[in-house]
Amino acid sequence: MSRLRLIDRLPPVRGSLTAEVPLASYSWFRVGGPAEVLFEPADRDDLLAFLSAKPATVPVTVIGVGSNLLIRDGGVPGVVVRLGRNLAGIVQEGCVLRVGAGAIDPAVAAFARDAGLAGMEFLSGVPGSIGGALRMNAGAYGGDMESITLAATLADTEGRLHRVKGTDLRFSYRHCVVAEDWIFVEAELAGRPDRSDLIAERMALIRINREESQPMRTRTGGSTFANPPGQQAWRLIDAAGCRGLVVGGAQVSEKHCNFLINLGTASAADIESLGEQVRTRVLASTGVALAWEIRRIGVGTAGERR
């Protein structure tokens, strides 16, 4: 008797379950192999029911809009849960926004602007969604998630909800203490009253800064490496002579060398190899070991887990 495919062992859902879905189009790098199964929940309850009923041994990997993500060429075993528009609601409650984890960061900034709530302008310069922003304490242009998060709601591996105060998330630079297998589903974000036109001016300055300093409209994953304490990763990369470095179809951006770019023909292996070459050169020239900020998931083409 043939072995059942994974999708045939999963519980029914109201959203969509699809086997062997190519994931390259779900990543800003436009590279990567397939998801063994892709699950797009109809809503939060659909996600919770799935988590509570799926076999305990089935691994789950969560993705959002794929902006700070490298999907390896061999694909992702188990179930890939994509949190999208069905978990992207935004509701205002006074000076607090209750935001679904699938909400796009710039959309949250725009909602806050229109509501006359300041403090979330930095999100207009953070590509990605709120779930990922919470996971890595995303920050830019003088703001970060720690400064605005009152609480977050998470689903554990068995589909139970937990509301966690922002202070208990113990945010630090590009990190929080939440277990990797728990899923952010909602955030309560605090703003402060201000004029919408003034908020819009600050957001416009952020947009101009991004366009001048970062490679826009390219196949990239955003900032590749976290800044070491007291230093800037791009300066270390530049000093190590890596600006413009190429591996296969991947290149270190000439405009901002903490960005890696898919020139159009790169594989995930090219991009990851390029990143590792950058790390090696920076370590050799400066003694600093850069840490990946981009999240890397899946397996290589030979099937090995990395």
Cα separation, 260 vs 27, whole angstroms: 14
Q: What is the largest CA-CA distance in the chain?
A: 67
Cα separation, 249 vs 119, whole angstroms: 39
Q: Given the residues 27, 124, 129, 223, select the one marked as catalytic.
A: 223
Closest Cα partner for 36 from 2, 66, 9, 1?
Answer: 9
Q: Given the residues 174, 202, 295, 296, select the one marked as catalytic.
A: 174
Residues 6+ apart with CB under 8 A from 173: 137, 226, 227
Q: Given the residues 121, 188, 272, 293, select the one marked as catalytic.
A: 293
C-beta separation of 55 from 9 below 8 A: yes
Structure tokens at 13: 């859902």
Q: Is 223 a catalytic residue?
A: yes
Structure tokens at 130: 């709120």
C-beta separation of 117 from 99 below 8 A: no
Beta strand 192-193 with 246-247: parallel, antiparallel or unpaired? unpaired
C-beta separation of 41 from 86 below 8 A: yes
Q: Is 293 a catalytic residue?
A: yes
Q: DSSP E strands: which ranges in 27-106?
A: 34-40, 60-63, 69-71, 76-82, 90-93, 96-100
C-beta separation of 118 from 192 below 8 A: yes
- CA 55 to each of CA 3, 20, 50, 181: distance values in angstroms, whole numbers, following the listed order: 15, 19, 10, 15
Q: Is 219 a catalytic residue?
A: no
Cα separation, 99 vs 91, whole angstroms: 7
Catalytic residue positions? 174, 223, 293
